[in-house]
Structure 1
Amino acid sequence: MTDPTCKACQGIWPQADHFITDLGLSQAYLHEDQFFKGWTVVVFRRHATELFQLAPTERMQLMEEVTLVAKTLAQVFDARKINYELLGNQLPHIHWHLIPRLATDPAPLEPVWRVQHEPIQPPAHELQASIERIKDAMAKLR
């Protein structure tokens, strides 16, 4: 099922060149803002806005997929903590924000949404290098 008004269903968000991997029920992408290095979004493949709209088996599999990405990000970026955000207020389509919080974090006690910063959009070669590091590490965990 798709929603013709949904940016995720239309394929215009996240950006195609930020694609990391297909996980089964979801897909992982590097977030366009890499101020928090490794910030990744896991996007449910079909349109749904709430976890209770998923079959129990889908919820379990989706959580396994989110967990795999989180574990991978923790290893690749040597994260002290991973933040998990499932909001959907601005984009009503199930998607998780997984944000590695590093030792160099400028505001370790604040949610990322409250940290004032200029977005960092890395050049294409850095973006691809990060994607490859994540893919390689994830392949070892699968």
Structure 2
Amino acid sequence: MSFDNDCFYCVKDKRLTDIMIEICKLESSTLYLFKEQTYRGRCVVAYNDHKSEIFQLNDEERSLFMKDVARAAGAINKAFSPDKMNYGAYADTMTHLHFHLVPKYKNGPNWGGTFEMSPKDKVLLKDEEYNQLIHKIKENL
């Protein structure tokens, strides 16, 4: 298993916990809730091994990872009923394979466009509100 000491998904240090909360382990990845909740239910599915590109996975690994992505997206969809789920695999500077799962709502921010990775007006919640979101996602996994 690959590990990168400079990668916060591998190290799971303050760089990660400052911006995300671990929801649970999946078959080949870990599901995280983004603390910034402009897009209610926004999560990240991060592959457990340190890989940079999806083509670096063999067929079985890729199948399991995409199964995790689909499972998490389905749970978010059931929990929050967005109008569309956006998927982002941006990793110019964070070279650990991960997918952003971003529920979009017709009357919400950036409908019809690309979601903002780091919105200017951040929506941060209280611990209990994060726990409620996590519970709703977990009960739909």
TM-score in terms of structure 2 length: 0.90
Percent of pairs with identical residues? 26
What's the RMSD between the two structures over aligned residues? 1.8
Query: What is the CA-CA distance between 1:115 and the residue it aligns to?
Result: 8.4
Query: What is the CA-CA distance between 1:106 and the residue it aligns to?
Result: 2.7
CA distance in 2, matches of 1:118, 1:111: 16
CA distance in 1, matches of 2:27, 2:125: 27
CA distance in 2, matches of 1:135, 1:115: 25
Listed as ranges, the gaps of 5+ residues in structure 2 are none
Query: What is the CA-CA distance between 1:24 and the residue it aligns to?
Result: 1.6
Shift >3 Å, 4+ stretches: 114-117
Listed as ranges, the gaps of 5+ residues in structure 1 are none
Is the 8 Å Cα contact of residues 14 and 31 (structure 1) preserved in structure 2? Answer: no
Give 1:109's match in structure 2, choosing from 105, 112, 125: 112
TM-score in terms of structure 1 length: 0.90
Query: What is the CA-CA distance between 1:89 and the residue it aligns to?
Result: 1.1
2:49 is aligned with 1:46: yes
Query: Residue 22 of structure 2 corresponds to which residue in structure 1?
Result: 19
Query: Residue 85 of structure 1 corresponds to which residue in structure 2?
Result: 88
Please give the per-residue CA displacement for 1:67-91, whole angstroms capped at 9, x wherever unaligned: 0111111111111110001111131
Query: Residue 10 of structure 2 corresponds to which residue in structure 1?
Result: 9
Letter of the 1:11 counterpart: K
